[in-house]
C-alpha cells in the first residue's frame, strides 16, 4: 500500500481517553467497521486499523469480504503452517518467521495479524490440526511465544487464538467443551499462559465455543479473572469472527472488540444498556480506553518503505520447511545419491498440497513443486500421477489406469519416490475429519508398487496425522506435512541430503484411530463434548496405557547419530531447574538434535501422566562435536493445579528427569529434589479426621485425645474413621464440644 493511503494518524490529544468520547463513540469503538477494520472516530482523530489472517502468512483481502478464505487476497509468503513449524521444536526459528510475518503485515499496513493458533491437538480428527502446534502445551506455548515475539518486534500486533478449549470444528460455534479444572489448566490453558506471560500479545482472540457451558466470548472467569488478573494480560480481547452471543454480557466479561461488524446493532445494544442501567458506563470506558491504546500502538509503527523481498522470504520459507520435515523411517535409502535412478510417483509431487483450507489460506508469491525440485537435481526423472486428488474423484477404470501406469514407471526405477497424502477436501477449517486413513486408491497403489519394486521412499503430505499401515513394507518414510510455498524444494533438499532432517513429531502417530485418547468422546453430541481422558492427552495417554504407537511424540531421525552423556540437574536460586547434558554427533555429517527433558514424580499425591515434556533444545553439531546442552525447566511448569485451593502447587519431592531423543527414546536420567509449596487447607467441621490429625496446631492433641479414650492399639478405629468429617457423628468418637474447640483452635492457627 502507498504510505499516503494510510488512515489519518491519531491526531491530538495524545492522551485521548474514553472520557473524551460520547457514549455512542465509545460503543462504536467496540466493534468492527466491516470484516477487517475497526471504526475511525474522525471527530477526535481516532484511526481505523486493520486486523487480518494469519497465521502462517498474510491473508489480506483485496476485494470481497469473507473470513473463510473463499475470496482472493494479496500475494504473500506462505510459510509452513503450524503443523510444520512446530515440528522444528525451535522457538528462535519461529521468532524469525514471526519477524517476516511482521514485515509483510507492515508493508500492507495491517495492524494485527490473526495468529498464532495454539489449541491443543486433542484428537487427530480435528479438521484444523494443521493450524495448531502440538498435543503438548509446552511445545505449543514455546513455539507460540516465539512467533508472537517476532511479529510484535516489527510494531505489528498478534492475536493469540483460539482462547480456549477449541479443539474441534464440529458445532464449533456452540459446542460446550466440558473439561475438568486440572486438564483445563494443565493442558488446555498452559500454553496460552506461557505465551501471554512471555510475549504479551497485543490481542487474544476468544474462541467460538463454550467452556463448561459458558461462551468463551462472555466468560468473566476466562477473560478477566484468568487472562487479565492471573496472567497479567493488558491487551485487547477480540472475538473470533461471529463469536459474540450476548454483546452486553461479553463486554462485562472482558471481551473488548467484536469482529466483524454487526452493522451497528450491537453498538446500539451497548448504548441502550448504559442508558437503562444494565451496563455500568465505567465498564464501557475501560474497554474503550484499551481500544484507544491499541490504535495508538498501531499508529506508533513507522510506515514501511521497502517493498516485500519475495526471494528472501521464500528462502526463509524453504529453510523452515526443511527443518520441519520429520524423517520417520530410514533403512539407509536416504539421502539419495544425486545420480540415483529415480521415479517420482504421486500427484502431490506435481501438485503440492502446502497449506490447509479456510481462513488461513494464503495466496502465495510462488509455489515450488517437489517434482521440479527433484528434476533440478537429478535430471529428467520419470513421473506418474498414480492417483487422483480432486474432490469429484474419477471412475474405477481411470483409477486402475493411473495405478497401472505408475506401476510400470516404478518397475524400471532404482528408487521410487512415492508422494502420498490427504487430499485437500478431507481436511479444512469448518469441519472435522472422519478417519485418519490415506485414500484406498493410494494404499492400493503402494501395495502394487512394492510388489514390483520394494525400494520405495514414501513422502507424506498431510495436515493431521495419518495411519501408516505400510510402515514395515517400505525402507523409508518422510513426513512432509503441509510445508508452505517452498515445501517442494525443501523436500528435495532433505531427500538428497543438502539438509539433514531434524524435525520431530509434535504429535504422536498412533497405530489406529481407535487407540487415540478422545476416541469415542470426540466430537460429542447434543452440544457437549466431554474431555473424559482428562490429563491423558497425546503421549500422556499412550504412555499411561502402555499402548504401542506407530511413531512416538518427539520422534525424528537424522542422517547422523547422537550420543548422550550423563545428565545432571540442579535447582537454581529462582526455583527453576537446570539440566545439563553432553550430546555428541557420532556420525559423519553435520546434524541437529532436539534434546528433550521429561519429568515424573514417583509417589506423587496427585494423578500424573507417566512423564511430561518440560523443556527442549535444538542444537546443531558438526561431526564429532560435543555440546553441553542446557535445558531450563521452569518451576511453574512442575506445578499441578490444585482444585482444593484453586491454584498452582509444586509438590515437594525427588523429581526424575529423563533426557533423550523422543518420548520413547530416553538416554539418560537424573533426579532433583524440589522443595515444594505448602498447601494449607482451612480446618472446619467438614475436615476429615485424617486431615485434622495432620494439622500442625491441633493434630497431636487430637491423636492424644483419641488414644486416651480408646488406647494406642486402636489403629483400626482411626483407619475406619479417617475419612469421616469430624462434625458428622455427634459424640463419637469424641464429644462434639471437644471437636469444635479443636477446629476453632486450628482455624486461629
* Residues marked as catalytic: 240
> Closest approach of Cβ 169 to ligand BGC, in Å?
9
Closest distance of CB 114 from ligand BGC, Å: 4
Task: Please identify which residue in 114, 195, 253, 474 interacts with ligand BGC, judged by CB under 6 A.
Answer: 114
Give the list of residues 6+ apart from residue 737 with CB closer than 8 angstroms, or none.
none
Question: C-beta of 363: minimal distance to ligand BGC in Å?
Answer: 14
Q: Considering the rule CB under 6 A, would residue 95 count as an interface residue with ligand BGC? A: no
Shortest distance (Å) from residue 429 CB to ligand BGC: 6
**Shortest separation between residue 43's beta carbon and ligand BGC, angstroms:** 29
Site for ligand BGC in 226-255 (CB under 6 A): 240-241
Q: Nearest 5 degrees, angle CA 336-CA 341-CA 342? A: 75
Give strand pairing partners of 592.
620
Residue number with the smallest Cβ distance to ligand BGC: 67
Q: Does 161 bind ligand BGC (CB under 6 A)?
A: yes
**Which residue from 67, 122, 194, 555 is in contact with ligand BGC, where contact means CB under 6 A?**
67
Min CB(537)–ligand BGC separation in Å: 21
CB of 449 to ligand BGC, least distance (A): 39
How many chain residues bind ligand BGC (CB under 6 A)? 8
Residue whose cell numbers read 497431636: 700
How far is 112 from 155, CA to CA, in rounded Å? 9
**Sign for the pseudo-dihedral over CA of 197, 201, 203, 208:** negative
Task: Tell me, residue by residue from 306 to 345, as one string, x for binding to ligand BGC by CB under 6 A and - for no binding.
Answer: ----------------------------------------
Binding residues for ligand BGC restricted to 350-379, rule: CB under 6 A: 359
Q: Which of residues 22-61 bind ligand BGC (CB under 6 A)?
A: 53-54
Please name which of 373, 326, 330 lies closest in space to residue 348, comparing C-alpha atoms. Answer: 373
| DSSP notation for 414-427 | SEEEEEEE--GGGS
Instruction: Determine the Cα–Cα distance for residues 407 and 451; give it in Å rounded to an integer.
Output: 9
Q: What angle, rounded to 10 degrees, do the helices at 370-378 and 487-495 form?
A: 40
Phi/psi class of residue 628: alpha, beta or left (left: φ > 0; alpha: ψ in -120 to 50)?
Answer: beta
**Closer CB to ligand BGC, 243 or 381, in the complex:** 243
Residue with smaller CB distance to ligand BGC, 188 or 551: 188
Q: How far apart are CA 353 and CA 375, in angstroms?
A: 19
Instruction: Give the integer Cα–Cα distance in Å for 377 and 693.
Output: 75
**Cβ neighbours of residue 680 under 8 Å, at least 6 residues apart?**
none
Q: How far is CA 140 from CA 200, 484, 517, 611, in A?
A: 15, 19, 19, 17
Q: Which of residues 655-694 bind ligand BGC (CB under 6 A)?
A: none
Q: How far apart are CA 643 and CA 741, in angstroms?
A: 28
Residue 147, interface with ligand BGC (CB under 6 A)? no
End-to-end CA distance of the chain: 67
Judged by CB, which is closer to ligand BGC: 61, or 491? 61
C-alpha cell at 143: 513455539
Q: Cell digits for 197?
A: 506471560
Could you tell me the smallest distance in angstroms from the CB atom of residue 175 to ligand BGC? 14
Q: Which residues contact 203 (CB under 8 A, 6 or more apart)?
A: 51, 112, 157, 158, 159, 160, 235, 236, 237, 238, 257, 294
Q: Do the Cβ atoms of 291 and 29 come closer than 8 Å?
A: yes
User: Which parts of 392-451 interact with ligand BGC (CB under 6 A)?
Assistant: none
Interface contacts to ligand BGC, rule CB under 6 A: 53-54, 67, 114, 161, 240-241, 359
Amino acid at each position: 500500500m502507498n504510505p499516503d493511503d494510510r488512515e489519518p494518524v491519531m491526531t491530538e490529544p495524545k492522551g485521548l481517553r474514553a472520557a473524551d468520547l460520547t457514549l455512542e463513540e465509545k460503543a462504536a469503538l467496540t466493534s468492527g467497521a466491516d470484516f477487517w477494520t475497526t471504526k475511525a472516530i474522525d471527530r477526535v482523530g481516532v484511526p481505523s486499523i486493520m486486523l487480518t489472517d494469519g497465521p502462517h502468512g498474510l491473508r489480506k483481502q483485496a476485494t470481497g469480504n469473507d473470513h473463510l478464505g473463499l475470496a482472493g487476497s494479496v500475494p504473500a509468503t506462505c510459510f509452513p503452517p503450524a503443523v510444520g513449524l512446530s515440528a522444528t521444536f525451535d522457538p528462535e526459528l519461529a521468532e524469525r518467521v514471526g519477524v517476516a510475518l511482521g514485515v509483510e503485515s507492515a508493508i500492507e499496513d495491517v495492524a494485527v495479524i490473526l495468529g498464532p493458533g495454539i489449541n491443543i491437538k486433542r484428537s487427530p480428527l480435528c479438521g484444523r490440526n494443521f493450524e495448531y502446534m502440538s498435543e503438548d502445551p509446552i511445545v505449543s506455548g514455546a513455539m507460540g511465544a516465539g512467533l508472537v515475539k517476532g511479529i510484535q518486534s516489527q510494531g505489528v500486533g498478534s492475536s493469540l487464538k483460539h482462547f480456549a478449549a477449541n479443539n474441534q470444528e464440529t458445532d464449533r460455534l456452540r459446542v460446550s467443551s466440558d473439561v475438568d479444572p486440572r486438564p483445563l489448566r494443565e493442558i488446555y490453558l498452559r500454553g496460552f499462559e506461557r505465551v501471554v506471560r512471555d510475549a504479551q500479545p497485543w490481542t487474544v482472540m476468544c474462541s467460538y465455543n463454550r467452556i463448561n457451558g459458558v461462551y468463551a466470548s462472555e466468560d468473566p472467569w476466562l477473560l478477566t479473572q484468568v487472562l487479565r488478573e492471573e496472567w497479567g494480560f493488558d491487551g485487547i480481547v477480540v472475538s473470533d469472527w461471529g463469536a459474540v452471543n450476548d454483546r452486553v454480557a461479553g463486554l462485562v466479561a472482558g471481551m473488548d472488540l467484536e469482529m466483524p461488524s454487526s452493522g451497528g446493532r450491537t453498538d446500539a445494544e451497548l448504548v441502550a444498556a448504559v442508558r437503562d442501567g444494565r451496563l455500568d458506563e465505567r465498564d464501557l470506558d475501560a474497554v474503550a480506553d484499551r481500544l484507544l491504546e491499541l490504535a495508538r500502538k498501531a499508529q506508533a509503527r513507522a510506515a514501511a518503505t521497502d517493498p516485500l523481498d519475495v526471494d528472501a522470504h521464500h528462502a526463509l520459507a524453504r529453510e523452515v520447511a526443511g527443518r520441519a520435515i520429520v524423517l520417520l523411517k530410514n533403512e539407509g535409502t536416504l539421502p539419495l545419491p544425486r545420480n540415483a535412478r529415480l521415479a517420482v510417483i504421486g500427484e502431490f509431487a506435481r501438485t503440492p498440497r502446502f497449506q490447509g483450507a479456510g481462513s488461513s489460506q494464503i495466496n502465495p508469491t510462488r509455489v515450488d513443486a517437489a517434482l521440479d525440485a527433484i528434476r533440478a537435481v537429478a535430471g529428467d526423472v520419470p513421473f506418474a500421477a498414480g492417483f487422483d486428488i480432486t474432490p469429484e474423484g474419477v471412475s474405477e477404470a481411470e483409477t486402475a489406469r493411473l495405478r497401472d501406469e505408475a506401476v510400470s514407471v516404478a518397475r524400471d526405477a532404482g528408487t521410487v519416490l512415492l508422494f502420498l497424502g490427504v487430499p485437500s477436501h478431507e481436511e479444512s477449517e469448518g469441519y472435522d475429519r472422519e478417519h485418519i486413513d490415506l485414500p484406498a486408491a493410494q494404499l492400493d497403489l503402494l501395495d502394487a508398487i512394492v510388489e514390483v519394486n520394494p525400494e520405495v521412499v514414501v513422502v507424506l503430505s498431510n495436515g493431521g496425522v495419518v495411519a501408516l499401515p505400510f510402515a514395515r513394507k517400505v525402507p523409508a518414510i518422510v513426513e512432509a506435512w503441509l510445508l508452505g510455498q517452498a515445501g517442494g524444494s525443501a523436500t528435495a533438499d532433505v531427500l538428497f541430503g543438502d539438509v539433514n532432517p531434524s524435525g520431530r513429531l509434535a504429535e504422536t502417530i498412533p497405530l489406529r484411530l481407535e487407540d487415540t485418547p478422545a476416541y469415542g468422546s470426540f466430537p460429542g453430541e447434543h452440544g457437549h463434548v466431554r474431555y473424559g481422558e482428562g490429563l491423558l492427552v497425546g503421549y500422556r495417554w499412550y504412555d499411561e496405557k502402555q499402548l504401542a504407537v506407530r511413531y512416538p511424540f518427539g520422534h525424528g531421525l537424522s542422517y547422523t547419530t547422537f550420543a548422550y552423556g550423563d545428565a545432571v540437574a540442579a535447582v537454581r536460586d529462582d526455583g527453576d531447574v537446570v539440566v545439563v547434558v553432553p550430546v555428541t554427533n557420532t556420525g559423519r555429517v553435520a546434524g541437529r538434535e532436539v534434546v528433550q527433558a521429561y519429568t515424573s514424580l514417583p509417589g506423587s499425591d496427585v494423578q500424573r501422566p507417566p512423564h511430561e515434556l518440560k523443556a527442549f533444545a535444538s542444537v546443531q553439531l558438526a561431526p564429532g562435536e560435543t555440546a553441553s546442552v542446557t535445558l531450563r525447566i521452569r518451576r511453574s511448569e512442575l506445578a499441578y493445579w490444585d482444585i482444593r485451593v484453586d491454584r498452582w502447587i509444586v509438590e515437594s519431592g525427588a523429581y526424575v528427569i529423563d533426557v533423550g531423543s523422543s518420548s520413547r527414546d530416553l538416554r539418560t536420567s537424573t533426579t532433583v529434589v524440589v522443595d515444594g509449596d505448602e498447601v494449607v487447607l482451612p480446618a472446619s467441621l467438614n475436615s476429615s479426621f485424617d486431615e485434622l490429625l495432620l494439622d500442625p496446631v491441633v493434630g497431636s492433641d487430637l491423636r492424644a485425645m483419641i488414644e486416651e479414650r480408646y488406647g494406642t492399639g486402636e489403629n483400626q478405629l482411626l483407619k475406619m474413621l479417617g475419612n469421616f468429617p469430624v462434625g458428622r457423628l455427634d459424640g463419637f468418637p469424641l464429644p462434639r464440644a471437644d471437636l469444635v474447640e479443636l477446629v476453632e483452635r486450628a482455624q486461629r492457627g
